[in-house]
């Protein structure tokens, strides 16, 4: 009877260790999912910032090109007037 009880106790502790391992794995997966979601948010924000900077840069380039064209027209016009 004592041997049988010890066998059941070993089996019980083995099952508890298995359940604890599964719980630990679930926690790790939950943490990984949380980190992945945070990274996704960060990457999305970085993408938005890069696109905004790109749009601002395009606007600045267009403004600069327009200003250069106006300056050239002014120079050409002033040379024609002289």
For residue range 41-50, list pLDDT tens digits in order: 999 999 999 9
**What is the overall mean pLDDT for the chain?**
91
Considering its fold, how many domains does the chain have in total? 1
> What's the whole-model pTM score?
0.59
- Position 82 scores a pLDDT of 63
How many angstroms separate the CA atoms of 82 and 79, rounded? 5
Instruction: Quick: pLDDT tens for 2-42.
Output: 888 898 999 999 999 999 999 999 999 999 999 999 999 99
Q: Which domain holds residue 82?
A: 1-82
- Position 21 scores a pLDDT of 97
* Integer Rg of the chain from CA: 35
How many angstroms separate the CA atoms of 63 and 70, rounded? 10
How many angstroms separate the CA atoms of 37 and 47, rounded? 15
């Amino acid at each position: 009877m004592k041997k049988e009880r010890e066998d059941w106790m070993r089996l019980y502790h083995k099952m508890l260790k298995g359940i604890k391992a599964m719980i630990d794995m679930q926690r790790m997966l939950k943490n990984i999912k949380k980190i992945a979601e945070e990274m996704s948010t960060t990457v999305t924000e970085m993408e938005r910032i890069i696109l905004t900077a790109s749009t601002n840069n395009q606007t600045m380039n267009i403004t600069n090109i327009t200003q250069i064209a106006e300056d050239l027209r002014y120079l050409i016009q002033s040379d024609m007037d002289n």
